[in-house]
Every structure is written in structure tokens, then in C-alpha cells.
Copies of this chain bind each other. A is one copy, B any other.
Amino acid sequence: MAGNESIYEPLTVETLAMRLGGIVAITDRIGADTTKWRAKEVGDGNLNLVFIVSSDTGSVIVKQALPYVRLVGDSWPLPLKRAFFENHALLRQADRDPGSVPEIYHFDEAQALIVMEFFTPHIILRHSLMAGTKHQGMAAVLGEFCARTLFRGSDLSMVAAARKADVALFADNVALCDITETLIFSDPYFDAERNHHTPQLDTLVAQLRADIDLKVEAQHLKAKFCNNAETLLHGDFHTGSIMVTETETKIIDPEFALYGPMGFDIGMLLGNFWMAYFAQPGHAKSHGERHDYQTWILEVIDEIWRVFSAEFSNLWRHERTGILYERSLFEDQGHALASEQALAHRLRDIWQDTLGFAGVEIIRRTLSLAHIAENDTIENEALRADCEARGLRFGRQLVVNRSRMNSMATVNDLAQIIAAEAKQ
């Protein structure tokens, strides 16, 4: 027993201690006396079993993949191998941005099971954004995480052969890529079976689905997602994959990891912050109560991009050891200016992709299968539709006009104008 069974079997609160009690990486942390273990199933995501297992001496997270999508049930099978990809992604992220992700204590491929560090008293950022709680230093952690993982997982940094082997390894994460390809990039743009939206949005939704410029640009973004294997992405980097205290920020759940375009992770992240921004009136106890918090969200967005750009530039200048934009062609020839020129071009490309991916993320979280709690918990349907409509209109602008928006100030101005219009 003890984690080396070859036949997969989902854990339960009852069987967990018996099945994992012999794993030293666990008993080292919470003791070998399994009668003292307390196990609680807390999975609130869409896919997996998640247990907190604790004793008087410590606690761990046990995450196990199910052979189907938990949100939907066994009518939608999903390979257990996603635990393998999560394990590999976590190892790489820990290496590239130490301290940002949970430490892995134990991985069992056959059981699709990862035992890892439990972050406590951290909560999921999305809940915090509903509660109106601010977090010190969060934007910096998120911006640096993006810069470090995206840069260090790319041909700007890695040995080419190692990166190609890694591309081959992650190319098999087909089923989870398919979820993204379908739910984010295709379903929102036609009347797909799994779609749902707030009824008051019917007219706007019909407009968006008839909007040829939007549809074409969304498909260009899909093509980038599918074909531009620039770096190892987290792949599902929304505010439900981030855990926070008032002063600490951690990133979890990279099972959607894939090689893709750099702008995808930051774009999804910022899209979720913009949605949280537009959702605030739905959580205000009185008119205007969340204005200050909305301002803070826009500041967070601005800071994430600033920190990302600064750290990416820093790594570009000091860690560019890969096969792209080699120092032997630039700095070593006395052409540091060429290196800066290339950096500026690449940051502009990432910027445009970021805006585009943020836009499609907002649209899919409103029209496709998986919505966000910030909107879903607004009980007044008309108010919810109003918040969602602002996001949709903003998202559409990002997707269609991303190559003509020059700064975060411009983009955040647009968000504020759309938010203000809605209040009239």
C-alpha cells in the first residue's frame, strides 16, 4: 500500500490515512500515528479532489486528479495524467521563482496524487476580491512570478535541447489544452451547448456573436495559444489559482501547464482583476462603498504590468543565456542598444497579447461554461448583468483594439469610463 498501489483509486476521507500512512515525506511532517490525522475534503475547483490532512504537528495538502471533470461529472472524462503535468510544472516554477508555489512532498503518478505544502491561513484571492480585502506586496509577487517563469522557461534562457524536450513532454497535455481551446476561444463566440449567461445579456451577446472583427481576432489569439510555444505557461492563472494573506501571495494549480505565448498567463490574470473591478458594485453595501477598492484593483493591475516589465527587462539584461537575441550578436559587439531595441519590441508584443488574452478571458467567463464567483454571487440578476455587460464591452475593446492601445493608463481609463457610463 502506502502510495505505491498500481491501480488508481480515488481517496476518501476514510481511506486516506490507511493509504498514505506509510509515506515518509508525509509522516515526517504530520507524524506516523495516523489515528491523530484529520482529513478534510476541500476541493472547490472544477476538476479534482483536494484534502487538507493535519495533525498537531503540521498539515499537508493531498491533491488527487479524478478521471473526469468534477464540475460536470463522469460524462466528461479527463486524463489522470494532468497530475503528472502539475507535478512537472510545480517543479519548474519552484526552480524559476523560488518560494512562489507549494513545495512538493510526494508525487504518485499511478494514483495521480500530489502531496504538497499547505498554505495557511491563506485564502483564495478571488474570495478576497469579493470581500474587498487589500493585499500588501501581492502585485509585485505576481508580476515577478510572470516575468521569472515566462523568461526562464523560454529560449531566452534555457538550453535549446532541454526546452525542445520539455515542449515534447508537455505536448501530451492534450485534454487540458482542449478545454482551454474550446471553452475560452471557441464556445463563447457561438451558441455552444455548454454555454450559459445571465438572461438580461441576450441582446449584447447576440451583438458580440455577430461581431466579425471580434470573432476573427479571438481566433487569431487562439492560433497564438495553439502554435506559439514561447514558454512554459501556468495555463490557468486566474485569481482562483492564487492564495493570499494580507502580506503573502502564493500560486497554485498549474495542471493546465503548456508551452504557449508569453502574454497568456498575464492576460488571464489581468482579465480576472478587471472582472473583479467591474463586479464591485454587486458587492457594495452602499452606493460608492467599493470606489476606493476599485481604485486599488486598477492600481494592482498597473503595478503587475510595471513589475513584470521591469523584472522581464532585468532578466533580459542579465540572464539572456538562450539561443534567442544572443549577447554574442549584441552586447559583445558593442551593440547594447540593439539588445534594448529588441527588448522593447518583445515587450510590445507581449503587451498586445496580454490585452487580447485578458479580453477573451473576460468574455469566456461571462458567456461560456465556467463563470466567476464575483459575478455569480450577485443575487440581483439585473445588477449582475450590468456588471457583466461592462466587462463584455471592455473585453471586446481589448480583443479588437489591442494593437492600438499604448499604455496601461489608457486601458485603465477605458475601464473607468465604461464603469462610470454604467452608473448613469
Instruction: Write the residues of chain A forming the contact surface with B, with a CB cutoff of 8 angstroms.
Output: 154-155, 160-161, 164-165, 167-169, 171-172, 174, 177-178, 181, 186, 189-190, 209-210, 212-213, 215-216, 219-220, 222-223, 226-230, 323-326, 328-330, 332-333, 335, 337-338, 341-342, 345-346
Contacts and interface: CB of A to CB of B under 8 A. Distances in A.
A182 B338 CA distance: 19
B323 A181 contact: yes
Q: Max chain B CB contacts within 10 Å: which of A186, A229, A324, A328?
A: A324
Given A168-B168, A174-B160, A178-B160, A190 B229 contact: no
Ranked nearest first, the 7 interchain pairs of A and B with the lowest CB-CB distance are A168-B168, A168-B171, A212-B338, A164-B171, A161-B174, A216-B342, A227-B230
12 contacts: A161-B178, A165-B171, A167-B171, A189-B329, A190-B332, A215-B330, A215-B335, A216-B338, A219-B342, A222-B323, A223-B346, A226-B323
A246 B220 CA distance: 41
A278 B210 CA distance: 50
A186 B160 CA distance: 14
A187 to B, nearest CB: 10
Contacts of A342: 216, 219-220
B155 A186 contact: no
A303 to B, nearest CB: 28
Contacts of A215: 329-330, 335, 338
Contacts of A155: 223, 226-227
A313 B332 CA distance: 45
Contacts of A160: 174, 177-178, 181, 226
Contacts of A178: 160-161
Contacts of A333: 190, 209-210
Contacts of A177: 160, 164
Q: Max chain B CB contacts within 10 Å: which of A223, A326, A328, A341?
A: A223
B329 A186 contact: yes
Q: Max chain B CB contacts within 10 Å: which of A165, A178, A216, A229?
A: A216
A289 B219 CA distance: 51
Contacts of A329: 186, 189-190, 215, 219
B227 A228 contact: yes
Contact of A212 (B167, B223, B341): B341
A154 B325 CA distance: 27
Contacts of A227: 154-155, 228-230
Nearest to A339: B216
A374 B128 CA distance: 68
A379 to B, nearest CB: 33
A45 to B, nearest CB: 24
A212 B333 CA distance: 11
Nearest to A226: B155
A171 B209 CA distance: 37
Contacts of A213: 341
A154 to B, nearest CB: 8
